[in-house]
Amino acid sequence: MKDLNEKKVDLKIDFREQRSGIVSEIEKLTNKIAFELCTLPTGDYMVGDKIIVERKTLNDFLTSIKTGRIFQQAYRIAQSGKNGLIILEGDKTMVDSSLMSRKAVQGALIHLTVFIGIPVIRSLNIQETATLLIDILNQSQQQELPRQKHIISVSPGIHINKKQRQKLFLLQNLPGIGTKKGLALLKSFSTIENILNASPADLTKVRGIGNKLAERITAILHEPF
């Protein structure tokens, strides 16, 4: 039975974000937000148990594009069933020397926002990030929050449940993956995480996925731009 005296938590913050200074900035701006430091399975912040927020500095963002980590994080946010958001913090003066092209960065942003469905908001610094989190919380409390919806193409005669649809949506963003191959991947590997961590050799064991397609999938997920 739920404790009626249990304090409502407005904002959950992952322990790793303590060093960012965001917590102290929020406390400077308001004392009306109840927050809790914890270990979040996905993202850096959970706003009102409705919205998962991943915070990235520009340096972190560029590095995560090269390693493919940002896409894995975005897939997990989308798979959670909650609304997701990436806050991209900093300006060009805060970026170390990088050989990544503007086109590569724009390509990553297109994939995140258009194909995975996770919006990206810019922030100048930790002060503005703190303000954004407060504003997001306030708006989520004042109005009904629509769930981020994704269109999933499923062939006639194929019946899958809601969770399977969510997983299939994520896979259909990969090159050359439609309904049948997506379902075959799920049947073989069981979870999205297992698919993300699979080698090209492992992927080719799935019916319909050849060497070239397996290499393309791995490149999208792991190789630098």
pLDDT, tens digit (0-9, with 9 covering 90-100), for 204-225: 999 889 999 888 888 877 655 4
pLDDT, tens digit (0-9, with 9 covering 90-100), for 128-174: 999 999 999 988 887 766 655 544 445 545 556 666 766 777 777 67
pLDDT value at 89 more than 60 = yes
Do 119 and 186 lie in one domain? The reply is no
CATH of the domain at 196: 1.10.150.20
Residue 185 in any domain: the answer is yes
Amino acid at 123: S
The H or E element that residue 11 is part of is: strand 11-14
Range with the largest mean pLDDT of 20-24, 52-56, 88-92: 52-56
- Residue 203's nearest CA partner among 185, 224, 186 is 185
pLDDT value at 5 more than 90 = no
Residue 154 in any domain: the answer is no
CATH of the domain at 121: 3.40.50.10130
Do 33 and 111 lie in one domain? The reply is yes
- Which of 76, 111, 142 terminates a domain? The answer is 142
Q: Which two tokens stand for residue 117?
A: 């469905």
Give CA–CA dist 91/88, Å, rounded.
9
pLDDT of residue 114: 81
**pTM for the complete prediction?**
0.65
Are the C-beta atoms of residues 54 and 78 closer than 8 Å to each other? no
pLDDT, tens digit (0-9, with 9 covering 90-100), for 38-67: 999 999 999 988 899 999 999 899 888 878
Residue 1 in any domain: the answer is no
Please, is 185 exposed, middle or buried when counting C-beta atoms within 10 Å of its C-beta (0-12, 13-18, 19+)? buried
Do 109 and 187 lie in one domain? The reply is no
Could you give the 3-state DSSP secondary structure of residue 19?
helix
Interior/surface letters 154-164, b for 16+ CB within 10 angstroms, e for the rest:
beeeeebeeeb
Structural domain count, the chain: 2
- Which of 114, 142, 170 terminates a domain? The answer is 142
Are the C-beta atoms of residues 8 and 47 closer than 8 Å to each other? no
Do 101 and 135 lie in one domain? The reply is yes
Are the C-beta atoms of residues 174 and 163 closer than 8 Å to each other? no
Amino acid at 122: R
pLDDT of residue 97: 60
Indicate the DSSP class of residue 208: T
- Which of 79, 110, 142 terminates a domain? The answer is 142
